[in-house]
Amino acid sequence: MNPNNTPPGNSRKLALTDLAQHCALETELYYRGQPYDPQFCFEMFRRAFIEADQHAWDRIYTQYQLQAVRWVQRDPLFPFSSQEAQDFVNLAFAKMWTALTPGKFARLPDLKSALAYLRICIKSVILDDRRIRKWVELGYLDEVDPDQGGTDSGNTPEDHTLQAIEREKLWRLVEQQLHNENERLVIVAIFVYGMKAQEIYKQFPNRFSNVAEIHRVRQNVLDRLRRNLKFRDSIR
Residues in 82-141 at the binding interface with another protein, rule: CB under 8 A = 95, 99, 104, 107-108, 113, 115-125, 127-128, 131, 134-135, 138-140
Cβ pair 151, 142 in contact under 8 A: yes
Nearer to another protein, 54 or 148 (CB): 54
Kindly determine how many residues on this chain lie close enough to bind another protein according to the rule CB under 8 A.
77
Q: Mention every residue, 6+ apart, whose C-beta is less than 8 A from residue 1.
A: 35, 36, 37
Q: Which stretch binds another protein (CB under 8 A): 22-30, 45-53, 143-151, 152-160?
A: 22-30
- Measure the CA–CA gap between 155 and 141, rounded to whole angstroms: 8
Of the candidate residues 10, 188, 207, 224, the single one contacting another protein (CB under 8 A):
188
- Measure the CA–CA gap between 151 and 145, rounded to whole angstroms: 6
Site for another protein in 32-61 (CB under 8 A): 33, 59
Site for another protein in 146-165 (CB under 8 A): none
- Measure the CA–CA gap between 59 and 236, rounded to whole angstroms: 49
Of the candidate residues 12, 110, 193, 205, the single one contacting another protein (CB under 8 A):
193
- Measure the CA–CA gap between 218 and 211, rounded to whole angstroms: 11
H or E element, residue 34: none
Compute the least distance from the CB of residue 219 to another protein, in Å.
5
Nearer to another protein, 160 or 188 (CB): 188
Examine residue 207 and tell whether it contacts another protein (CB under 8 A).
no
- Measure the CA–CA gap between 93 and 48, rounded to whole angstroms: 12
Cβ pair 111, 41 in contact under 8 A: yes
Compute the least distance from the CB of residue 147 to another protein, in Å.
25
- Measure the CA–CA gap between 59 and 38, rounded to whole angstroms: 15
Examine residue 178 and tell whether it contacts another protein (CB under 8 A).
no
Of the candidate residues 146, 149, 194, 205, the single one contacting another protein (CB under 8 A):
194
